Amino acid sequence: MEAVYHVRGDARSIEERARAIAIEQSVEMPVAAIDDEFVRAQIVGRVDTIAEKSDGLFEVRIRLAGETVGQDPGQLINMLFGNTSLHPDVALHDVELPGELVVPFGGPRHGLQALRQRVGAPRRALTCSALKPQGLPAAKLAELARRFAQGGIDYIKDDHGLADQAYAPFAARVEAIAAALREVGHATRYVPSLSGDLDAMRTQIKRARDAGIDTVMAAPMIAGLANFHRLVREHSDMAFFAHPTLAGTAIAPPLLFGKLFRMLGADAVIFPNHGGRFGYSPETCRRLAATALADWHGLRACVPVPAGGMSRDRVPEMLDFYGVDIMLLIGGALLEAGAQLVEATSTFVTEVQSYKHG
């Protein structure tokens, strides 16, 4: 595999810096002290190319041995960026992964096409909103979900702050919300947020499934990549949304969300759209969405979900920008409608449904 780092430094020292990264991310010891032929030939990382991207910013490509990873997603990120993440002057920009490493992870078990079919929307962009604020009891969250569904929304996700708190325990919340959506009777899907350790998440998925739910959300950087992937493998009937919380800024979002989360089984990846509460550039967002949807080792397409402070007046612009292979997530700006939540949701949904590329 080939890892691509963006390194801040100066031209005089960049070669030495690049070699240091290659060693840190492989054998982590002086190469001269290694007398094993296999390790010297196969395991030691090698600097492939160094190119100055702009003044003081270098793109460093390093070949790392796939043998160091096995089939462990945690070990993959450990080998790509573990100790090097402790350096403020290095970002992990991209990785080229061979098919024999990617394919066994399997990617999305459902993906864009299935998430569309579930809500009877074969061609258009999908719609989504969020249940918040945390602190509300299950009954109030269920009432919000009912009104989103009455407005015709496709997916309703938990705010990622909703966990298993005393004021709205996971089990009570899931049952109340699932019951509310059954009453409305639309195809609207509720996507509860998983939290806790791997076993707690397994229990939550079982509860969700028992309530008739077929989609859940997890935060791979908090759960651990290996645990996220384990959940995907064990619950092939469930579709998984991946939430970006704790993803930081040092791993390029198109790589982390569009490539790694997708490879490990995310059917949809939520990310901060440009021009919202976060600082992602339009170019970063465009590359992220394109990466999540691209033909790549035969994996299913993963749905890009731009979010983070979106509002209804941005719908046409976002659809022009991303096209319709997307899920539009508007949370707080819909909730601001208060008593008019059903109408606000319906307006959002209608706008997305009637959109024609300009």
Q: What are the φ and ψ backbone dihedral angles of 82, each rounded to 5 degrees?
A: -45, -80
Applying CB under 8 A, among 48, 72, 143, 214 the residue interacting with its own copies is 72
230 binds its own copies (CB under 8 A): yes
- Mark the segment that binds its own copies (CB under 8 A) among 3-11, 31-39, 49-57, 203-211: 31-39
Kindly identify the residues of this chain, within the stretch 188-217, that bind its own copies according to CB under 8 A.
Answer: 195-200
Question: Are the C-beta atoms of 34 and 40 separated by less than 8 Å?
Answer: yes
Residue 62's identity, in one-letter code, is I
Residue carrying the six token digits 């920008």? 321
Task: Report residue 209 as tokens.
Answer: 């499934």
CA-CA-CA-CA dihedral for 108, 112, 113, 115, to nearest 10: 90
Kindly identify the residues of this chain, within the stretch 115-144, that bind its own copies according to CB under 8 A.
Answer: 132-136, 140
| Cα Rg, the chain, nearest whole Å | 22
Size of the site for its own copies (CB under 8 A): 81
Distances (CA, A) of 70 to 3, 74, 83: 16, 10, 19
Q: E strands of the chain, at which residues? A: 2-8, 46-54, 57-63, 90-96, 126-131, 155-158, 189-191, 215-218, 239-242, 268-272, 303-307, 327-329
Q: Which is nearer to its own copies, 113 or 134 (CB)?
A: 134
Applying CB under 8 A, among 1, 7, 62, 77 the residue interacting with its own copies is 77
Report the alpha-carbon distance of residue 72 to residue 155 in Å, rounded: 31
Minimum distance, C-beta of residue 209 to its own copies, in the bound complex (Å): 20
- Mark the segment that binds its own copies (CB under 8 A) among 147-155, 289-297, 321-329, 331-339: 331-339
342 binds its own copies (CB under 8 A): no
Q: What does the per-residue mask of binding to its own copies show for 264-293, with x meaning CB under 8 A?
A: --------x----xxx--------------
156 binds its own copies (CB under 8 A): no
16 binds its own copies (CB under 8 A): no
24 binds its own copies (CB under 8 A): yes
Q: Which is nearer to its own copies, 113 or 340 (CB)?
A: 340
27 binds its own copies (CB under 8 A): yes
Handedness of CA 44, 45, 48, 50 (dihedral sign): negative
260 binds its own copies (CB under 8 A): no
- Mark the segment that binds its own copies (CB under 8 A) among 142-150, 184-192, 281-289, 329-337: 329-337
Report the alpha-carbon distance of residue 181 to residue 175 in Å, rounded: 10
Q: What does the per-residue mask of binding to its own copies show for 160-189, with x meaning CB under 8 A?
A: xx-xxxxx----------------------
Applying CB under 8 A, among 332, 342, 351, 355 the residue interacting with its own copies is 332
Residues 6+ apart with CB under 8 A from 179: 142, 211
Minimum distance, C-beta of residue 126 to its own copies, in the bound complex (Å): 21
43 binds its own copies (CB under 8 A): yes
56 binds its own copies (CB under 8 A): no
Q: Is 198 exposed, middle or buried (0-12, 13-18, 19+ CB in 10 A)?
A: middle
- Angle, helices 282-293 vs 315-322, to 10°: value is 60
Applying CB under 8 A, among 2, 8, 19, 44 the residue interacting with its own copies is 44
Handedness of CA 213, 158, 150, 124 (dihedral sign): negative
- Mark the segment that binds its own copies (CB under 8 A) among 20-28, 96-104, 149-157, 284-292: 20-28
